[in-house]
């Protein structure tokens, strides 16, 4: 069983990645990695982890996979049926399904963020946030970042690929869409 010293916070900033002789390593001039930094957010996270240590450790012990995926800690609303991943494909219609599964991000190099029209939410394939004339809503508008990324949901029955976006994505990554854009697109 883990002890409190095992509950650490690792903070990273501006770490770039490149391949060199099979290794994925690179540092930039302003790169930083800090373990247990004395920032209010890190202290708050450590305190939360200490308060919720039994739940965190029980989740880790329930994990059966040896992959780097993490058991999600999202609670199913009361009265909603939990189905297996394989049952999603045989469902009669599209909709919201509640599953108990591991989440795995297979492509860690994906963008995690898109820019879209602030009016109609149409996505624009650019990293430039300057105002533009939106062809869908016919007005000059600013582009705003939106969190979106692809994950695999894995349980004992099957694997399915899906997207996490907007507020849920920001919550799971513990970052705002603005922060994600600043890190991945600038």
d(CA 18, CA 119): 37
Q: Tell me: pLDDT of 69 over 50.
A: no
pLDDT digits (tens, 9 = 90+) for 13-47: 544 454 555 544 444 444 455 666 777 777 787 78
Residue-range domains of the chain with CATH:
1-62 (no CATH), 64-186 (2.40.50.140)
Average pLDDT over residues 89-114: 83
Among 12-26, 69-83, 135-149, whose mean pLDDT is lowest?
A: 12-26
CA distances from 77 to 59, 80, 97, 143 (A): 19, 6, 11, 34
Quote the percentage of the chain above a pLDDT of 90.
8
Of the chain, the end-to-end C-alpha distance in Å amounts to 41
DSSP per-residue letters across 126-149: -S--S-EEETTTTEEE-EEEEEEE
Q: Return phi, psi of residue 167, to 5°.
A: -65, -40
d(CA 125, CA 185): 12
Q: What is the pTM of this model?
A: 0.56
Average pLDDT over residues 141-151: 91
């Amino acid at each position: 069983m883990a002890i409190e010293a095992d509950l650490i916070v690792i903070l990273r900033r501006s770490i770039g990645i490149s391949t060199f002789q099979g290794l994925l390593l690179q540092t930039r001039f302003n790169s930083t990695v800090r373990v247990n930094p004395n920032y209010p957010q890190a202290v708050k996270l450590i305190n939360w982890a200490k308060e919720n240590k039994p739940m965190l450790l029980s989740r880790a012990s329930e994990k059966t996979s040896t992959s780097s995926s993490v058991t999600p800690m999202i609670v199913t609303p009361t009265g909603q049926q939990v189905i297996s991943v394989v049952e999603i494909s045989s469902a009669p219609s599209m909709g919201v399904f509640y599953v108990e599964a591991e989440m795995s991000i297979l492509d860690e190099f994906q963008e995690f963020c898109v820019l879209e029209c602030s009016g109609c939410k149409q996505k624009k394939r650019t990293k430039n946030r300057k105002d533009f004339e939106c062809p869908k809503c016919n007005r000059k508008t600013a582009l705003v970042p939106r969190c979106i990324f692809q994950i695999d949901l894995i349980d004992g029955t099957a694997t399915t690929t899906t997207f996490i976006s907007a507020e849920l994505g920001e919550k799971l990554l513990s970052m705002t869409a603005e922060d994600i854009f600043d890190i991945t697109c600038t």
